[in-house]
Chains A and B, each alone.
Chain A
Amino acid sequence: MKANKIPIGPFHPLLEEAEYFELTVDGETVVDIDMEIGWMHRGHEYISEMKTFTQSIYLVERICGICSTSHPIACVHAIEDIDNIEIPLRARYIRTLVGELERIHSHLLWLGLAGHFIGYDTLWMWAWKYREPVLEMFEIISGNRNHYGMMRVGGVAQDVDPAKLIELHKHLDMIEKKMVMIAKAAKDDPVLRSRLKGVGVLTHEAAVAYCTVGPTSRASGVPGDVRLDEPTDAYDLVDFERIVLPNGDVYDKLVVRVLEIIESIKICRQCLSKLETVTGPILNNVKEISPGEGIGRYEAPRGEVFHYIRSDGTNRPIRHKVRAPSYVNIPSFKASCIGIPIADALITLASVDPCYCCTERSIKIIDKNHDSCSFDLIKASREKTEQIRREINAD
């Protein structure tokens, strides 16, 4: 029995970050997986120590383009934690609104890419088409499509113009209608169901053992959600449900995300209605940060993000530590990828929604004699979908 190694990466032709994976396969089955990170290392924690508190919020915004408000929220929570700074009620609603809109756009982005990986480009185009109105809402609220720059220590940077609320409501209605449609289409589609059900199962025990967070763990029956467990901002003032599913396969991860989009729309709607009545300042003027340390947590679209900041009384943090959710979710591949066919490996790797998206790439199978042959992972994944589609249609 000869084990072959398949290197994946570091460049993925389609998207995002470079990552390097090495799958060891025996025939069609994945028997081991190894990964190498560090291609994206930019030294945020080091740079942050040279910036002032306000500047470091903009810096952490640029950790990741998709969760570009989760990091700032966790960061301002950490700074506010040092001095127990209170923030005005209106600012709390605006923070929650921006955070939840981001969850919608991030989950839609994932949904589209998941469709793309298994050869459902229609789903990709749909999901990304309906992601545009969300970005438009961001543009109305903050003036930017991405990197909103909304967070400040003690509140938010910009108010939501009351005259724009009707327009925002309209956008939200439109998104909701489309989301219900996509949710129904994704849940009822027989091909999608048989393609993803039972694929790449992350068991409850493994999810706990690998300390996974976010939708990855919630799809395996681990109910952790920082928004409900330790509510900050306006999360204790709005009502929404915790989405937990038991099976841990890719299909459940998809359903968790789709249902979370609908919950997020609910939260956004409540925030928008509150913004009509709640008035007042949006920013507490914070002059000084006293020496001490603080932690900030926030439920990013991918899971809990954690920031730790130590201050020595000057205007700069002397230590800033960031722990992003993908960092704990990525090792869970060891549990979910082993023993599955290669055609399923791609969607299983993607199902965690790590901050990388490996897609169509030519990879090489190298055997012991270093003869190599080309092997297209995404093609294998799509062919399997095609096969399932044919079987279903034949019945």
Chain B
Amino acid sequence: MGWYNKRLAKSLWVFHISGSPCNNCDIEILDLLTPRYDVERLGIKLVGSIRHADVLLVTGIFNQKIAPKIKKIYEQAPKPIFVVAVGTCVSSGCCFKESYNRVEKREEVIPIDMYVPGCPPKPESMIEAVAKLLGVLNG
């Protein structure tokens, strides 16, 4: 798939879903699009439908109610799709570890390719993550 990935890397289209976050991570993701950080110059665009997306950004601890929906969205995505988990919530559960409504293993809901730690991660670190992803895709 090397040739395919290389073409993909030219312009990544991103779809974002929030699985019970505190929505700070989501706002920081949006911040990436606004003039200060402006990731559109790297060809990255937020799209309105999962069917157009190459990258799926997920945030939050995935509560019991939303987990099946996240799974469904992932299934609808055209493959290959790269899942980037933004925030400590997805990787470790942040301060919601004791929650009764949390999905224990988020990797079992959808496979996750990359984690960006931080609560919330700074936009700079998200850009770094994107740059790394581009590096991998370019081989």
Residues of A within 8 A of B (CB): 10-11, 13-18, 38-43, 46-47, 50, 55, 58-59, 62-66, 68, 109, 112, 124-125, 128-129, 132, 145-147, 355, 360-362, 378
Contacts and interface: CB of A to CB of B under 8 A. Distances in A.
B79 to A, nearest CB: 19
Given A16-B26, A40-B63, A132-B36, A59 B16 contact: no
A18 B30 contact: no
B20 A42 contact: yes
Contacts of A360: 48
Interface residues of B, number: 41
Interface of B: 15-28, 30-31, 34-36, 46-50, 61, 63, 65-66, 69, 73, 94-96, 98-102, 119-120, 122
24 contacts: A11-B73, A13-B15, A15-B16, A16-B27, A17-B23, A18-B20, A39-B20, A39-B65, A39-B66, A42-B99, A43-B100, A43-B101, A47-B95, A58-B95, A62-B22, A63-B22, A65-B26, A112-B34, A125-B35, A132-B34, A145-B28, A146-B27, A362-B48, A362-B49
Nearest to B20: A40
A112 B66 CA distance: 28
Contacts of B16: 13-15
A62 B120 CA distance: 10
A59 B96 CA distance: 8
A102 to B, nearest CB: 12
Contacts of A40: 20-21, 63
Given A13-B48, A39-B65, A42-B96, A64 B22 contact: yes
Contacts of A14: 16, 30, 46, 48
B27 A65 contact: yes
Which of B21, B23, B48, B66 is the most central at the interface, judged by chain A CB atoms within 10 Å of its CB?
B23
Given A43-B96, A145-B120, 13 more contacts: A11-B17, A13-B46, A13-B50, A14-B46, A16-B27, A42-B20, A42-B99, A43-B99, A65-B24, A65-B26, A132-B36, A145-B122, A147-B24
A145 B118 CA distance: 12
Contacts of A46: 98-100
Nearest to B15: A13
Which of A14, A55, A58, A145 is the most central at the interface, judged by chain B CB atoms within 10 Å of its CB?
A14
A65 B20 contact: no
Contacts of B23: 15-17, 64-66, 355
A50 B98 contact: yes
Main secondary structure of the interface of A (DSSP, over half): loop
Given A10-B69, A129-B34, A17 B95 contact: no
Given A13-B47, A58-B95, A125 B34 contact: yes
Contacts of A62: 22, 24, 94-96, 119
A146 B123 CA distance: 11
Contacts of A129: 34-36
Nearest to A64: B22
B65 A146 contact: no
Which of B15, B27, B46 is the most central at the interface, judged by chain A CB atoms within 10 Å of its CB?
B27
Contact of A15 (B20, B30, B119): B30
A18 B49 CA distance: 15
Contacts of A146: 24, 27-28, 120
A18 B99 CA distance: 19
Contacts of A68: 22, 24
Given A16-B26, A47-B95, A68-B24, A42 B46 contact: no
Given A10-B66, A42-B101, A125-B34, A47 B22 contact: no
B18 A16 contact: yes
A40 B100 CA distance: 13
A147 B119 contact: yes
Which of B35, B50, B61 is the most central at the interface, judged by chain A CB atoms within 10 Å of its CB?
B35
Given A13-B49, A40-B63, A59 B95 contact: yes
B43 to A, nearest CB: 18
A18 B26 CA distance: 11
Nearest to A105: B27
The 5 closest A-B pairs by CB, nearest first: A65-B24, A128-B34, A360-B48, A16-B23, A13-B48
